[in-house]
Amino acid sequence: MGLTITEKILANHIKEGKPEKGKEIGIKIDQTLTQDATGTMAYLQFEAMNVPKVKTELSVSYVDHNTVQIGFENADDHRYLKTIAAKYGIMYSRAGNGICHQVHLERFGKPGKTLLGSDSHTPTGGGIGMLAIGAGGLDVAVAMAGGPFYITYPKVIKINLMGKLRPWVSAKDVILKVLEIFTVKGNVGTVFEYGGEGVKTLSVPDRATITNMGAECGVTTSVFPSDEITKEFLKTQGRESDWITLSADEDAIYDKIVDINLSDLEPLAATPHSPGNIKKVRELKGIDVDQVCIGSCTNSSYTDLMTVAYILKDKKTYQNVSFVVAPGSKQVFENITINGGFSELLSSGARFAESACGFCIGNSQSPQSAGVSLRTSNRNFEGRSGTKDAQVYLVSPETAAAAVITGKFTDPRDLEKLGIKYPKIAMPKKFYVDDSMFITPLKDGKTVKIYRGPNIGEPPRSTPMPELITGVVTIKVGDKITTDHIIPAGARMKYRSNVPKYSEFVFEMIDPKFHERAKKIQQTGKQNIIVAGVSYGQGSSREHAAICPMYLGVKAVIAKSMERIHKANLVNFGIIPLTFKNEKDYDMIDQNDELEIPDVHSFLKKGKTMIVRNKTKDKQFEVTYDLSEREKQILLSGGTLNFMGKKE
């Protein structure tokens, strides 16, 4: 029987468990990446594991999220990360070198390898044929210490690409189409594997744009074959020797095959406030635009920026538009400069931001009140831009460029009427490469002294799971609550290394009083319980969406359904993830209801369901849990760090 690409890579990496769909397996991780916002906590946890050096083939620590440096916190964290990297054998990518996913694709991604990253967009690496997965920082720390990474053996859906994109339609439109088909929920435990003739028409940056935003569908990862195009890309980076050929067997069996004809696609946009709200750009025609931001790990490559530069050649930014460009990496920045793109963009009126996450995470360039912002990034959750009532649309670089010229939502194909031809940008034969912003770790880092600024605290630990959870529903939220809702990034992100301070902002956007209420309940000795609708914990891998609630005494989340990374993070920090057996029971719970979950240990050991008593309503209902034996043990021990301590 033939194998899919996913099955081939997994077969080479499986360490525990059997390749049976839906069952937990442990895989060997070849490479890891962290970024600073999740990395500080990940390395604090790694330190607690007492391992002298990372055990992976390659681990890279990127600084790209918290680079605004208002106050001492960011810079102190950077210095901590730098000393950790030197001591433990980790490659350090300094602030200014670029966004982790873009840089990793350029300099380190290798087809056929596994990559685990403490960032949900790690699947960007799937564009080069890696099995690249996003996870919480603690899971990445475990992988750096040589432990396996656990996933559910996935279903594999083939996305069969046919035809060829027409001018003005690009990779972003392909992934927006995928989002229209699969939506942002219900895809947990699945890998999207791209195949078909159309694959040959897409460059590695195109493919990476597509795999990057697979994260928005909630899949485990997305992967493209490694072919001649992959080889060409590696050549441009002087890394041809990293190439291997990798494709699915002709007779590979997929759980489902979905056809997309690239020739039929047209410019699309994700409308506020979800990457899954897809509309055709022509349906949005004429909406006034206040801001256009080009960049982020989704669309900040050389070809993206050069395309925009050529569209804007001799044009000026419309006077009501603020036009921001953040090249994805120093390499992109340098190469668009060498090839004239930088000066074109500058002369058109672009405001250049540093090669970092910046606007995408809302720690700069927040739009005006109720402003319409067109962005080439991947998430448009409410408030993520830093302006709660901003209307953020996700679009291709071509659609973004059209709005820069006209000041309105414009189908980029209409630019032809203005005499603008579609620029087909080729990649240079060889990129100008300067790796001086990396710091290679010392061979022996034993004597390196770790720097810890005042912002860095001890990583908090959870407590063992009680036999009886006596709790209060501290908050009841609706469907599709993202980790941005649970714990905001943006201006608050600088407190990532300081959990007591950061915890003050849990659910800030939905209910700023949550923190006070949770603290009060915690002081009475009761547990806090979160009740939620479908797809709870969408979006980022940020484990603070579990750590901070844990710190405030949350012991259980009861939801209609939950997203993969967030669920794993809850387990890692000793919070039990439960789902309603009967979704209707959600309706009979209110905030402040007193709940009791008895016999937790015996239920966890025996069965698949638990009873929850609603003391306030004098009713009871059943909840289920989908937890492996390992996860149950972790919960009983009070989180992964306690569990690992016990095993030793």
- Nearest approach in angstroms of CB 495 to ligand MIC is 12
Using the rule CB under 6 A, is 37 a contact of ligand MIC? yes
Q: Residue 381 to residues 272, 273, 384: CA-CA distances in angstroms?
A: 7, 5, 6
Size of the site for ligand MIC (CB under 6 A): 13
For 339-407, the DSSP string reads TTHHHHHHHHT-EE--SSSGGGGTSS-PPPTT-EEEESSS--BTTTTS-TT-EEEE--HHHHHHHHHHS
Of 61 and 120, CB closest to ligand MIC: 120
- Nearest approach in angstroms of CB 466 to ligand MIC is 30
Which tokens belong to 619? 């009713």
- Nearest approach in angstroms of CB 39 to ligand SF4 is 12
Which tokens belong to 230? 């992959």
Residue from 99, 550, 554, 589 that binds ligand SF4 (CB under 6 A)?
A: 99
Element (H, E) at 31: strand 31-35
Cβ proximity of 215 and 134 under 8 Å: yes
CA distance 412 to 284: 12
Of 65 and 496, CB closest to ligand SF4: 65
Cβ proximity of 360 and 377 under 8 Å: yes
Adjacency order of strands within the sheet including 149-152: 14-16, 24-27, 149-152
Of 212 and 226, CB closest to ligand SF4: 212
- Nearest approach in angstroms of CB 417 to ligand SF4 is 33
**CA Rg value for the chain:** 24
Using the rule CB under 6 A, is 361 a contact of ligand SF4? yes
- Nearest approach in angstroms of CB 37 to ligand MIC is 4
Element (H, E) at 519: helix 514-523
Using the rule CB under 6 A, is 297 a contact of ligand SF4? yes
Residue from 6, 97, 102, 120 that binds ligand MIC (CB under 6 A)?
A: 120
Residue from 121, 515, 526, 544 that binds ligand SF4 (CB under 6 A)?
A: 121
The interface region with ligand MIC, picked from 116-124, 169-177, 346-354, 577-585 by CB under 6 A, is: 116-124
The interface region with ligand SF4, picked from 55-63, 355-363, 442-450, 456-464 by CB under 6 A, is: 355-363
CA distance 371 to 380: 13
Classify 172 in phi/psi space as left (phi over 0), alpha (psi -120 to 50) or beta: alpha
Cβ proximity of 304 and 105 under 8 Å: no
Using the rule CB under 6 A, is 378 a contact of ligand SF4? yes
Strands 58-62 and 91-93: parallel
Give the relative orientation of helices 564-572 and 137-144 as an angle to the nearest 10 degrees: 70
Using the rule CB under 6 A, is 360 a contact of ligand SF4? yes
Looking at residue 200, the DSSP 8-state letter turns out to be: G
Of 490 and 553, CB closest to ligand SF4: 490
Looking at residue 118, the DSSP 8-state letter turns out to be: S
- Nearest approach in angstroms of CB 191 to ligand MIC is 18
Secondary structure in 3-state letters for 210-277 = HHHHHHHHCCCEEECCECHHHHHHHHHCCCHHHCCCECCCCCECCCEEEEEEHHHCCCEEECCECCCC
The interface region with ligand SF4, picked from 23-31, 39-47, 356-364, 425-433 by CB under 6 A, is: 356-364
Using the rule CB under 6 A, is 65 a contact of ligand MIC? yes
Of 271 and 296, CB closest to ligand SF4: 296
| HSE-up of residue 427 (Cα within 13 Å, Cβ side) | 22
Element (H, E) at 82: helix 73-88
Residue 563 binds: one of ligand SF4, ligand MIC, none (C-beta under 5 to 8 A by kind): none
Site string for ligand SF4, 442-471 (x = CB under 6 A): ------------------------------
Phi and psi angles of residue 640, each rounded to the nearest 5 degrees, phi first? -65, -40
SS3 136: coil
Of 114 and 483, CB closest to ligand MIC: 483
Residue from 489, 534, 595, 635 that binds ligand MIC (CB under 6 A)?
A: 489
Residue 296 binds: one of ligand MIC, ligand SF4, none (C-beta under 5 to 8 A by kind): ligand SF4
Element (H, E) at 452: none
Site string for ligand MIC, 349-368 (x = CB under 6 A): ------------x-------
- Nearest approach in angstroms of CB 131 to ligand MIC is 18
Residue from 66, 230, 296, 331 that binds ligand SF4 (CB under 6 A)?
A: 296
Using the rule CB under 6 A, is 33 a contact of ligand SF4? no
Using the rule CB under 6 A, is 177 a contact of ligand SF4? no
The interface region with ligand SF4, picked from 16-24, 66-74, 357-365, 602-610 by CB under 6 A, is: 357-365
Chain residues in the site for ligand MIC (CB under 6 A): 37-38, 65, 119-121, 361, 379, 489, 539-542
Chain residues in the site for ligand SF4 (CB under 6 A): 65, 99, 119, 121, 296-297, 357, 360-361, 377-378
